[in-house]
Structure 1
Amino acid sequence: MSSINAGLEESLRKKIIDEPQMVLDDPNVMRALVAGNERSMGSNIVDMRGLAMERLETRLDRLEDTHRSVIAAAYENLAGTNQIHRAVLRLLDPESFAGFMEVLRGDFCDILRIDAMALILETTQEEAGAAVERVGDVLKFTEAGFIDGYLSQGRSFGGERSVLLRQIDTAPARIYGEKSASLRSEACLKLDLGSGRLPGLLVLGAEDPGQFTPQHGTDLLSFFAGVFERSMRRWLS
């Protein structure tokens, strides 16, 4: 048997000579070649070039992971922006308050990819007796002061903030109705309904505990809350 055949098949040898990039682009092959070279040099010789290559490979792996994370975050932000845009356009469609509420009762949860939603409006003490809580419906009426209490839940909540994201163990049936038991996170959008009016609150509930967390950005939801409250002022004027 010839020395070429004993060491390397002629077809494989020719393939490598014709297309060396095939070997150079394969990290596993290159790693095996470097390891074989180190073994041939003996244990008392340090291959600085090999060590440098290992460090460069580690840095390259980290850069690739970071690149993938950035791309994934960009796609997620784009998808979130498109969701909010679709929701805003749906809010602009109705020509009456009844139509506005039908939009909220319709496919609005699907557009926002949430599992439950409620619009909470406070009433004055005199009106509270005549107000009706519609459990299971989108629109809820509550006593004055309920919204701030619900947002704070015994903790501080900055008055300038319009959006609160949090995970929840149990959601109140008073707000979410029959879906309350399955919800694990929520977004609370405080609404300024205009001078002389009590505040409103739009709550978005999700079964996924990771959908709304304090670590997430609130810019898109703050924009959405601004559009929503302006739509509400239009119907309340």
Structure 2
Amino acid sequence: MNTTPGKPELDRKLRERVLARPDIILDDRDMMQALVAANEKTMGGNIVDLRGIAMERLEARLDRLEDTHRSVIAAAYENLAGTNQIHRALLRMMDAQEFETFLRDLEGEVSDILGVDSMHLVLESNEAGDDPAVSRLGEVLRVVEPGFIAAYMDGHRNSPTRQVVLRQIEAGPAELYGEKSAYTFSEACLRLDFGTGRLPGMLLMGSEDPHQFTPQQGTDLLGFFAGVFERTMRRWLS
């Protein structure tokens, strides 16, 4: 093999391989960067390589696009997993043949499927009293006075009422969360409309994880869950 005096000889087999498959180098970002850097050294420090600058910017843009692509894929998988959870929980609710079973499942299998630590149905009533039904379902059912749900979900804000409110809290109120109140650090409040002439309700999900429910999260899936739940409730109440 003929070689240029004063220059290191490239391994013959490696040279033949590169000549036969130049894409090996072209597809390897680290090798291409090393070659470009070596070329810049031979040009001297007083020459501006516009092509190199353009390549660096394109590489930076490609890196950002790849990061965005990974984020979009991760969000899509997370959204799909959340959709499956909601569907499974709704199917479980629809299996109930009796109203009492329907409600008890909220604090049992439905809350397990959704991965929350507690779930309560809050109903407004003019006559809370000592209803035996309330006593039997005391673990999942909470009866409050009219106006409580709007005040709890909306506070004193003048913004339009929302169907779903997600937020972090220091501790859950004892009248809603009972013995779990001290360990509830985030919650999802789902406003329920039971139809004309009926007082509103609220489905309350609590979590020990302060990051499970935050205002920055989307509410579409929980809004869908609330819509199906309130329509199911209307049939039980009719």
TM-score by length of structure 1 reads 0.89
Following the alignment from structure 1 to structure 2, what is the Cα–Cα distance between the partners of residues 107 and 226? 19
Cross-structure match for 1:66 = 68
Question: Which letter maps to 2:195?
Answer: G
Measured against aligned partners, the alpha-carbon deviations of 1:34-80 in whole angstroms (never above 9, x if no partner) come to: 11110111111111111111111011111111111111111122112
Question: Which position in structure 1 is the counterpart of 2:191?
Answer: 190
- The one-letter code sitting in structure 2 at the alignment partner of 1:172 is P
The equivalent of 2:85 in structure 1 is 83
Question: In 2, distance between residues paired with 1:85 and 1:152?
Answer: 28
Q: Specify the code of the residue in structure 2 equivalent to 1:85.
A: H
Does residue 151 of structure 1 match 2:144?
Answer: no
Question: Is residue 107–residue 120 contact of structure 2 (8 Å, CA) maintained in 1?
Answer: no
Amino acid at match of 2:204: V
> Matched residues in 2 for 1:72 and 1:236: separation?
41
CA distance in 2, matches of 1:135, 1:156: 35
Distance 1:221 1:165, change over 3 A: same
For 1:214 and 1:62, the matched residues in 2 are separated by: 27
Determine which of 13, 37, 40 is the counterpart of 2:39.
37
> For structure 1, which segment, 27-36 or 214-223, has the greater mean C-alpha deviation from structure 2 after superposition?
214-223
Does the residue aligned with 1:216 lie in a helix, a strand or coil? Answer: coil
Whole-angstrom distance in 1 between the partners of 2:174 and 2:18: 69
The correspondence of residues 208-223 of structure 1 with structure 2, limited to 5 A, is 208-223=209-224
Structure 2 Cα separation of the partners of residues 56 and 34 of structure 1: 14
- Name the structure 2 match of 1:111: 113
**Structure-1 residue corresponding to 2:236:** 235
Q: 1:115 to 1:22 in 2, by over 3 A?
A: farther
Q: Provide, for residues 196-236 of structure 1, a one-character-per-residue CA deviation record: whole Å limited to 9, x for no partner.
A: 22111101122333322222222221111111011111222
In structure 2, what residue type is equivalent to 1:49? R
Deviation at 1:134, TM superposition (A): 8.1
Q: Which residue of 2 aligns with 1:50?
A: 52
The 8 Å contact of residues 133 and 140 in structure 1, kept in 2 or not, is answered as no
For residues 179 and 13 of structure 1, what CA distance do their matches in structure 2 show?
Answer: 71
Residues 68-101 of structure 1: CA deviation (Å, up to 9, x unaligned): 1111111122112111111111121111101202
Report the Cα distance in structure 2 between the residues aligned to 1:61 and 1:203, rounded to whole angstroms. Answer: 42
Change (3 A) 1:168 1:46: same
Q: Which residue number corresponds to residue 176 of structure 1?
A: 177
Deviation for aligned residue 1:133: 7.1
After TM superposition, the score normalised by the length of structure 2 is 0.88
Alignment check: 8 A CA contact 2:194 2:230 kept: yes
Query: Do residues 224 (structure 1) and 194 (structure 2) align?
Result: no
- Which amino acid is the alignment partner of residue 130 of structure 1? D
Report which stretch shifted further, 44-53 or 128-137.
Answer: 128-137
* 2:216 maps to amino acid: Q
**Please, which runs of 5 or more residues in structure 2 have no aligned partner?**
none
Identical-residue share of aligned pairs (%)? 61
Secondary structure of residue in 1 paired with 2:189: strand
CA RMSD in angstroms, aligned pairs only:
2.4
Distance 1:3 1:138 in 2: 86
